[in-house]
Amino acid sequence: MRTASHHNGKDLAKEIAVLKSQLEDLAEQMSGTGQSLASRGEEAIEETLKSARALIAKYGDTAKSVAQETVNLKNKAADTLIEHTEARPLTTLAAIVGIGFLAGYLCRRQ
């Protein structure tokens, strides 16, 4: 009986050692998987940033030129309005009064 319990103890010790080894292997694999996922996430972020920078570089100049053209157009329209107002003050006054009456009539109807 003592021999049987002694063999069971050795078998149990071997199984515990095998389980411990398997747990260590699993922990190493999980650690590697976590690092792998983190590195893949970092790669995806870097790729996204690279694409965003390329898009900004590609269309940034176009957006700046469109904005500058808009500012130039606004300035030209303001200058033209000032010139016409100075050249024809009565016509400008009549137009403003007409627009005012029209706006008042439309607001009153509603």
- pLDDT, tens digit (0-9, with 9 covering 90-100), for 55-64: 777 777 787 8
Q: Can you tell me the mean pLDDT for 46-53?
A: 82
Q: Report pTM.
A: 0.40
How many other CB atoms sit within 10 Å of the CB of residue 85? 14
Residue 1 has pLDDT above 60, yes or no: no
Residue 73 has pLDDT above 80, yes or no: yes
Going by pLDDT thresholds of 50, 70 and 90, the confidence category of residue 68 is confident
Residue 8 has pLDDT above 90, yes or no: no
String of DSSP letters for the chain: -HHHHHHHHHHHHHHHHHHHHHHHHHHHHHHHHHHHHHHHHHHHHHHHHHHHHHHHHHHHHHHHHHHHHHHHHHHHHHHHHHHHHHH-HHHHHHHHHHHHHHHHHHHHH-
Residue of higher predicted confidence among 9 and 95: 95
Going by pLDDT thresholds of 50, 70 and 90, the confidence category of residue 102 is very high
